[in-house]
Amino acid sequence: METSSCQKPREAFVTLATTDSYSKGAVVVAKSLRRHGTTRSIVVMVTPNVSSTARSALSEVFDEVIVVDLLDSQDYLRLSLLGRPELGVTFTKIHCWTLVQFSKCVFLDADTLVVSNVDDLFDREEFSAAPDPGWPDCFNSGVFVFRPSLQTHTQLVQHANQHGSFDGGEGLVELLLQLLAGHRSVQTLPFVYNLSASTVYVTAAFKRFGHNAKIVHFLGSSKPWSSSGVDSSSQTMSRYWDMWWTEYRKDCEKEQGQSRQRTGRK
Ligand code: UDP
Ligand code: MN
């Protein structure tokens, strides 16, 4: 039977910004996906506190800007052990399972930069994620493939409320896996889909495989938009840090150009 275009499965890349500053990262996620010619929709979830200025910058580059409630683990004890008190809000990621207008999605953290076409991620199934560089037996929740489902969403919210995650924030994927355990198998994504700044990349492995990088993840408290230069622990990331700034500045120049047009200035 012929499938009409409205029945065509919709697939999307999804990111999240709960603040204006993470919105800057999100803009770069969208621009870098477009630069590498994605054929999928690109959507961003924002929380109500994100300013109208930031939302309008997001709507320039995203197909959809979707407002979701803030979900905070409020697990301040575990988060302070992690040294990242701000990460309780990463529980908001769970809302990506409500995007049931899409049949399959790839979640990307707002601090990622796409450096090659990654549409092949849609050939993967829920649940796929790459190993965490800090503890490779765990998965990192910066990049993952999932299928939106209100049932999974409800289960995850309940589970998160009851148990939290083991680190108060980014243990989110582990939390999901506990929930899905026995139901679905987990596929491990190759590391090049979630390459992060860590001492591991000063090794020969980075020299050997780094050229295959597909998604770079500025994991950790130092983000490109919050610092003027590369932090000393991640010199090998300087190339990607520069690429992030090039993409970001391109947006700013475009916005400034548009506001000049609007005000009739040159
Ligand atoms: N995030 C956000 N606001 C915050 C903290 C996090 O919107 O205040 C979102 C954003 O998409 C971010 C993700 O949650 O990329 C995970 O946080 P982060 O990337 O800072 O954690 P890391 O990857 O450094 O562990
Ligand atoms: Mn991140």
* Residue 5, C-beta contacts closer than 8 angstroms, at least 6 positions apart: none
Q: Say what the pLDDT of residue 238 is.
A: 78
Integer CA distances (angstroms), 124 to 57, 102, 249, 266, in order:
31, 15, 33, 48
Which residue's alpha carbon is nearest to atom 14 within ligand 1?
Answer: 90
Cβ-based neighbour number of residue 36 at 10 Å: 14
Say how many Å lie between the CA of residue 187 and the centre of ligand 1.
23
- Residues around ion ligand 2, judged by CB within 5 A, are 109, 111, 142, 219
Nearest to 46 by CA among 9, 21, 73: 21
Quick: pLDDT tens for 151-195.
Answer: 988 888 777 777 665 555 555 666 666 666 555 567 889 999 999
Question: What is the model's pLDDT at position 219?
Answer: 87
The pTM of this model reads: 0.87
What value of ipTM does the predicted structure carry?
Answer: 0.99
At 5 the three-state DSSP class reads helix
Ligand 1 binding site (Cβ under 6 Å of any ligand atom): 15-19, 22, 86-87, 89-90, 109-111, 142, 170, 219-220
Compare 204 and 223 and report the one with higher pLDDT. Answer: 223
Considering the chain, what percentage of its residues have pLDDT values greater than 70?
70
pLDDT of residue 187: 83
* Cα(170) to centroid(ligand 2), Å: 9
Q: Is the pLDDT higher at 234 or at 209?
A: 209
